[in-house]
Amino acid sequence: MSDQKFKLRIDGVEYEASPGQMLIEITDAAGIYVPRFCYHEKLSVAANCRMCLVEVEKAPKPLPACATPVADGMVVSTRSPDAIAAQKATMEFLLINHPLDCPICDQGGECELQDLAMGYGRDVSRFTERKRSVADKDLGPLVSTDMTRCIHCTRCVRFGQEIAGIQELGTLGRGERTEIGTYIERSVDHELSGNIIDLCPVGALNNKPYRFSARAWEMVARPTIAPHDCVGANIYAHVLGGRIKRVVPRQNEAVNETWAADRDRFSYEGIYADDRVQQPLLRVNGELQPVSWEQALDAAAGALRDAGSECGALLSPSCTVEEGYLSNRILAALGSGNIDHRLRRRDFRDADADPVMPWLGTNIAGVEQMDALLVVGSNLRREAPLLAHRVRQAALAGARIGFVNADAYEYLFPVTAQHVGTDLLAEMQSLVAASSGTGDDDRQHSVVALREGKNAFVWLGQIAARHPRFAELRRLAAELCRATGAQLGYVSEGANAAGLALAGALPHRDAAGQSAAVNGRDVSQMLRDPPATLLLLGVEPELDFAGDASGTVASAGKVVALTPYLAGALREHADIVLPIGTFAETSGTYVNAAAQWQSFAGAATPVGDSRPAWKVLRVLANLLEVSDSEYTTSEDVRDELRELVGDLQPDNSLNTDSKLAAASEVPGPEILDVPMYSIDALVRRAPALQQTREARAATGDDEADEAA
């Protein structure tokens, strides 16, 4: 790239621009608003809406700012009479066939067409012909359609082509009869497809679960962090009367850009599931009875005190940093190290070699700068959709991406090599062998890519982390890194694996990676040998572990469940139920896979009598006389941990040559991949997500559907 700069005048003011930039980039940066519909900074330029026409000196006709490259000495008027006339002309054309049903349109109040019509439209239409009407499409459970409102900007089409990597929507027909549709009737299924709702500048594509339930201007936008994967997408919860009505992405170029995964956007529905616990419950004579918070907390503290060092705690990997830190402090005070959040992991032989916090090895935006990546054991698009999107951008820019998996998943980007085999260990052994010059061509190709890459990574995904021979897999990955100069990275489970590791929610470590004072039992040991009192935090025993953990819960002495939901094994076996808020009803902090600490305040009013989990834990700590536990805010908790962590840098390098014990479990035919809409209690309760093709396929409903 040359450093050459052009000078141009826009509305009488001189600006600098780089060759190749489009006019609209300069005006946007300068804060000069040029109206637009089809242009979107994340999508290719279509130049079809003709709203951004501006006057350029010496040009015989107005030019679209979005598609006009800057030139040295260019003189541009965005507000001259000719420019305004051209913009107004386009607005008139856009409105003649638009239904103008703003009062019953969900987009009303946040509609780009409505906003611009205020500035560029006429008071009264000259158009007296019949307006066009277009049949609506059924795009599935997430996106509603009112296609008569469509202004054919094709943002949704370009999103499919360019961001999702699969074109689910296209333009059909010609001229005035142009329609957006799927051609053959089918749903829009990509895991990022909800973003077309935000991209649509009018009310043609809207949020289906939210439909007709609030007006944009009634709601308050509360910033928070998505709780389902290690990206930590920044989102807004739109809240009306304390209740979340919908979720939209919050722009953060370093994390999620302007996107949100469907899981992050639609999981909020699970907050209001029927099986939310409304008040504290205590098991009396075999039946759960409502009690006051005081009674419940006393009982819980008593159960923990009685068990003392025989306590154990199991936390969801999407618990906050504060929850993890407080849990660890409580257990430590009781003399127990039995705490874990790695619920789906099977192999702990090499746990001592775990990094202090798992991370990608790069920041999230940096993923796009990779030139080589080998992903081991990961259904990446399902594990972390926005991470897969970043990898896709890297692949499109020429990065060589390989996968080692038991299945050939559909990645929707160019993959240089797929090493598919049910025995991941054997696949990795062959790759390591190839790194010393033997092995077949395809493997050699992956090894060469890693070796030649200046920015090369080997990632261990969630399938790898759940593998019964994870220790060996990781050592082979590390060996491959050593042989090729690539760096090791982890695509970790849940929203906060990194934060919980730092908080000391591990049996062998305390906060900030210090060795634990008391070496405790890990999750697999606790499942085999249940603690006297088991503290469960945000988990469902049947579904959140490597196997069904109901048996453990049944045989534990006392079960203290901090949970938003009461179902299944918890309903059967929990002795004390303390209702806690979901991610949306608490303040807290997540640390994502790029080691970014992201704190958030509570967004919604807690359901029933539920309380933020960190507050419940704080009271338990007080009752158990844990020293220095008089925290007044979650920030106090976080800041204390932050100070302990200091400037500890993430480091994935694996330094171990201890002899591995024989694997306790033999790799079986079990499926290690968890369907994306079954990953945690919240998404499992989100009705719209459960109606997607993806979820129905996972539960087998889809086949029944097809047969019917």
Partner 1 sequence: MGGLEKNLVCLQTLGLDEPWTLDSYLQIDGYKAWKRVLAGDFSQAEIIDIVKSSGLRGRGGAGFPTGVKWSFMPRESEVQKYVVCNSDESEPGTCHDRDILRYNPHAIIEGMAIGGFAMGATVGYNYIRGEFMAEPVPRFEAAVAEAYAAGLLGKNIQGSGIDFDLYTFVGAGAYICGEETGLLESLEGKPGRPRFKPPFPAGFGLYGKPTTINNTQSFASVPTIINKGPDWFSQLGPENSGGTLIFSVSGHVNEPGNHELPLGIPFRELIELCGGIRNGNRLKAVIPGGCSVPVMPAAAIEDVNLDYDSLRDAGSALGTGAMIIMDETTCMVSALTRIARFYFAESCGQCTPCREGTGWLYRTLVRIQEGRGTREDIDMLVDVANKIEGHTICAFGDAAAWPVQSFVKHFLHEFEYMVEHGGESIVNERAAAA
Binding residues (CB under 8 A) for partner 1: these are: 45-51, 53, 60-62, 64, 67, 69, 86, 89-90, 92-94, 96-97, 126-127, 129, 151-152, 171, 173-178
Angle (CA) 482 485 487, round 5°: 85
Cβ 584 to partner 1 shortest distance, Å: 40
The structure tokens listed for 17 are 């621009």
Judged by beta carbon, residue 45 or residue 216, the one nearer partner 1 is 45
Amino acid at 366: G
CB atoms within 10 A of CB 355: 17
Tell me how far apart the alpha carbons of residues 286 and 268 are, in angstroms, rounded to a whole number.
33
Judged by beta carbon, residue 200 or residue 374, the one nearer partner 1 is 200
Q: Are 229 and 222 in contact (CB under 8 A)?
A: no
Tell me how far apart the alpha carbons of residues 98 and 94 are, in angstroms, rounded to a whole number.
7
Angle (CA) 509 513 515, round 5°: 45
Judged by beta carbon, residue 152 or residue 573, the one nearer partner 1 is 152
Tell me how far apart the alpha carbons of residues 380 and 400 are, in angstroms, rounded to a whole number.
16
Pairing of strands 311-315, 339-340: parallel
Judged by beta carbon, residue 178 or residue 295, the one nearer partner 1 is 178
Cβ 203 to partner 1 shortest distance, Å: 17
Judged by beta carbon, residue 25 or residue 310, the one nearer partner 1 is 25
Local structure of residue 517 (DSSP, 8 states): S
Write phi, then psi, for 577 (nearest 5 degrees): -115, 115
Judged by beta carbon, residue 150 or residue 686, the one nearer partner 1 is 150
Question: Closest by alpha carbon to 553, among 576, 534, 578, 577?
Answer: 534
Judged by beta carbon, residue 173 or residue 335, the one nearer partner 1 is 173
Question: Closest by alpha carbon to 684, among 580, 595, 565?
Answer: 565
Judged by beta carbon, residue 12 or residue 60, the one nearer partner 1 is 60
Judged by beta carbon, residue 89 or residue 644, the one nearer partner 1 is 89
Cβ 653 to partner 1 shortest distance, Å: 43
Cβ 149 to partner 1 shortest distance, Å: 14
Cβ 112 to partner 1 shortest distance, Å: 14
- Name every residue whose Cβ is closer than 8 Å to that of residue 488 and which is 6 or more positions away in sequence: 361, 457, 458, 459, 460, 477, 478, 481, 652, 653, 654
Cβ 48 to partner 1 shortest distance, Å: 5
How many helices (H) and strands (E) in the chain?
24, 26
Instruction: Please state at what angle helix 81-96 crosses helix 112-120, rounded to 10 degrees.
Output: 130
Q: What percentage of the chain's residues is helix, strand, coil (to nearest 5)?
A: 35, 15, 50
Judged by beta carbon, residue 171 or residue 309, the one nearer partner 1 is 171
Cβ 58 to partner 1 shortest distance, Å: 14
Q: Where do the H-state alpha helices sit in 167-232?
A: 195-199
Dihedral of alpha carbons 595, 597, 602, 606, sign = positive
Cβ 564 to partner 1 shortest distance, Å: 48
Dihedral of alpha carbons 322, 323, 328, 333, sign = positive
Judged by beta carbon, residue 51 or residue 273, the one nearer partner 1 is 51
The structure tokens listed for 104 are 């019953």
C-alpha pair distances (Å), 698 with each of 244, 545, 690:
27, 17, 10
- Name every residue whose Cβ is closer than 8 Å to that of residue 567 and which is 6 or more positions away in sequence: 275, 540
Q: Are 95 and 115 in contact (CB under 8 A)?
A: no
Cβ 391 to partner 1 shortest distance, Å: 24
Judged by beta carbon, residue 67 or residue 221, the one nearer partner 1 is 67
